[in-house]
Each structure stands twice: as structure tokens, then as C-alpha cells.
Amino acid sequence: MAYETIIVEIEDHVALIKLNRPDALNALNAQLMTELCKALKEAQANDKVRCVILTGSEKAFAAGADIKMMSEKGFVDVFSEDLFGPESDAIMSIRKPIVAAVSGYALGGGCELAMMCDFIIASDTAKFGQPEINLGVMAGLGGSQRLTRFIGKSKAMDMNLTGRFMDADEAERSGLVSRVVPVKKLMEEARSVAEKIAEKSMITTMAIKESVNRSYETTLREGLLFERRVFHSLFATEDQSEGMAAFVEKREPQFRDK
Ligand code: HXC
């Protein structure tokens, strides 16, 4: 499928989705969000794909929702179309792991899109921010909710109320990103992480994604019960027998997603 605002490459079980609106620092417009959702659904349906990397350019992962597009809209427009709500629900419904590889600006909707991924690997040039306050609005895709859960109230308030940018070191210290690498090594690192995930049993991978994400939706008690039951259920899989047998026999496991 040919896209205009993203580039998709599938290699060795990894789908690389690159946001590609260089003239607008990958600002998220309706076409880009539609194409991104389509590509993710295709990755979900493609048995060859076992992990997705979402990235942008060296200068910008994404500098936010497209301000030129939004500047022409009023309340009735954004409320009626539920601006980017269905798209963010669609992204969150993808069951395969999605790793965000972030270099440069990840601002507003760009930061929020990165947070919709399962984890973020940042280059040392990455800059995160929720600067919507400077436009007379506020975060609309998780910047006041996911960000608060990821980095805590004080920093989330600071980011949202001042609109300041957070560099990669602070983002790692705060728990927003899982690791920081030199900018020239970002894609190599993301690919090696994605290939490592792709070697695992897809049943286990999806179960883990579902369980970690459940922790944001429920109480600790219910979450622990959910985790325990999913853990138990994995004992019904051939991959559990294989994984444990391989350990005992001191060999590499051959997972078959069964
Ligand atoms: C549309 C954008 C854009 C955006 C950059 N561009 N960000 N266009 N929407 N969010 C365009 C610029 O207009 C310019 O095009 C080109 O990209 C390069 O940007 P410059 O500003 O010239 O680059 P630079 O000086 O390096 O500054 C980079 C920057 C700045 C700091 C990232 O572009 C910036 O502040 N961008 C806006 C960031 C922002 O406020 N994001 C939040 C958006 S609201 P032209 O053609 O003019 O030269 C949001 C809400 C989400 O995300 C919720 C939705 C439901």
C-alpha cells in the first residue's frame, strides 16, 4: 500500500513506520493519522510482522498536531469529529508491540503519540513537551493523563503549565523513556530491540502488553489478579512447554506462537 505521509518498510519480522511530513516537522494532520492507523492495522494483520517501530526524522519525531489544520476549526468541528479520538483508540487497540524511536522534537500530539507506543527509546537530541498552553489550548491525546501517570504530577504540571521542553536525560530520569542512545545509533538500537522482541512467542508478547497496559486501567488488587490469571493461562501454550524445556536442556527455545 502506497502512503504519502508515512513510509513503511518490513524487514526481518519488524515493520518500520516512519512519519514523513518533513516540511511540517511531521505535524499530525488527518491524512497522516489515517495512514498511520491503516499501516498499524496492516502490521497487526500481517503474520510476518512481530514488532513495530514508530519513528520520525532526526529533527522531529512529530512537532504536534498540525496547527495550520487546527487553526481553521471551532469547537463544533473538533467536538463533532472528535479530533484524533478514534485514531488514538485505534492505535491503542494494536496488540503487537510498538516501540517508539524518538529523535528531535516530540511535542504536543507528537509526545502523546510516542506515549501511546509501548515504550520509548530516545536519542540524546530528543526533546519532549506539551506546549499546547502557548496556543491557548491544552493537551488532547494523553498529555495531561498518560504523562502524569508516567512522570508524576509535579513534572506533568510543570510541562503542561509552562510548555517547557524536557531533554532526553530528564526524560530518562523521569521514566518517560526506557533508554537514551546517541542520535546516530538510534535506529540501530531500535531495530535490535525490535528484533529481540520478535524472537519471543507472540502469545507471550501480547499477554505482557495487555497486562502492563491493564495496570493503567484498574486497581492494584484487580491488576495483580489479572496478571496471575494471564500467567496461569500461558501454561496452556506449547510455547510455555518449549521455553521451559529449552532452559532445562540448555538450548535456545523455538517458539511457534502456539
Ligand atoms: C504545523 C508545524 C508544526 C505544527 C512545525 N511546523 N510544527 N506546522 N503544525 N505543530 C512547521 C512550521 O510551520 C514550519 O513550516 C516548519 O514546520 C519548520 O518549523 P519551524 O518552526 O520553522 O522550525 P524551528 O524554528 O526549528 O522550530 C521547531 C519547533 C516549532 C520548536 C518544533 O516548529 C514549534 O514550536 N512548533 C509547534 C509545536 C507545538 O506547539 N506543538 C503542539 C501542537 S498542538 P513553514 O512552512 O511555516 O516554514 C497539539 C495538540 C494535540 O499537538 C491534541 C490533538 C487532539
**Under a CB-based contact definition with an 8 Å cutoff, are residues 19 and 5 in contact?**
yes
Average pLDDT, the chain: 98
Distance between CA atoms of residues 31 and 9, nearest Å: 19
Closest Cα to atom 17, ligand 1: which residue?
A: 24
Q: Count CB-CB contacts under 10 A for residue 147.
A: 25
Beta pairing partners, 105: 60, 127
Give the H/E segment covering residue 103: none
**How large is the ipTM?**
0.99
Fold classification of 201-249 is Lyase 2-enoyl-coa Hydratase; Chain  A, domain 2 (1.10.12)
Ligand 1 site, residue 129, Cβ cutoff 6 A: no
**Under a CB-based contact definition with an 8 Å cutoff, are residues 118 and 149 in contact?**
no
Nearest by Cα to 193 from 179, 214, 206, 203 = 179
pTM of this prediction? Answer: 0.98
Mutate to test the pocket of ligand 1, among 25, 107, 144, 167 (most ligand atoms within 8 A of CB): 25
- What local confidence, expressed as pLDDT, does residue 177 receive? 98
Is 252 labeled as catalytic in the residue annotation? no
Percentage above 90 pLDDT, the chain: 99
- Residue 47: left (phi > 0), alpha (psi -120 to 50), or beta? alpha
Question: DSSP characters for 119-140?
Answer: EEEEETT-EEE-GGGGGT----
Percentage above 70 pLDDT, the chain: 100
Structural domain boundaries in the chain: 6-198, 201-249
- What local confidence, expressed as pLDDT, does residue 131 receive? 98
- Residue 82: left (phi > 0), alpha (psi -120 to 50), or beta? left
Is residue 67's pLDDT more than 70? Answer: yes
Q: What is the mean pLDDT of residues 71-75?
A: 97
Is 106 labeled as catalytic in the residue annotation? no
Is 109 labeled as catalytic in the residue annotation? yes
Residue type, 51: C
Is 112 labeled as catalytic in the residue annotation? yes
Ligand 1 site, residue 232, Cβ cutoff 6 A: no
**Under a CB-based contact definition with an 8 Å cutoff, are residues 65 and 113 in contact?**
no
- What local confidence, expressed as pLDDT, does residue 1 receive? 67
Q: What is the pLDDT of residues 219-242, one digit of tens each?
A: 999 999 999 999 999 999 999 999
Is residue 204's pLDDT more than 90? Answer: yes
- What local confidence, expressed as pLDDT, does residue 2 receive? 87
Asked: is 6-198 a CATH 1.10.10.10 domain? The reply is no
Distance between CA atoms of residues 205 and 95, nearest Å: 9
- What local confidence, expressed as pLDDT, does residue 240 receive? 98
Q: What is the pLDDT of residues 8-61, one digit of tens each?
A: 999 999 999 999 999 999 999 999 999 999 999 999 999 999 999 999 999 999
Displacement of CA 253 from its chain's centroid (Å)? 28
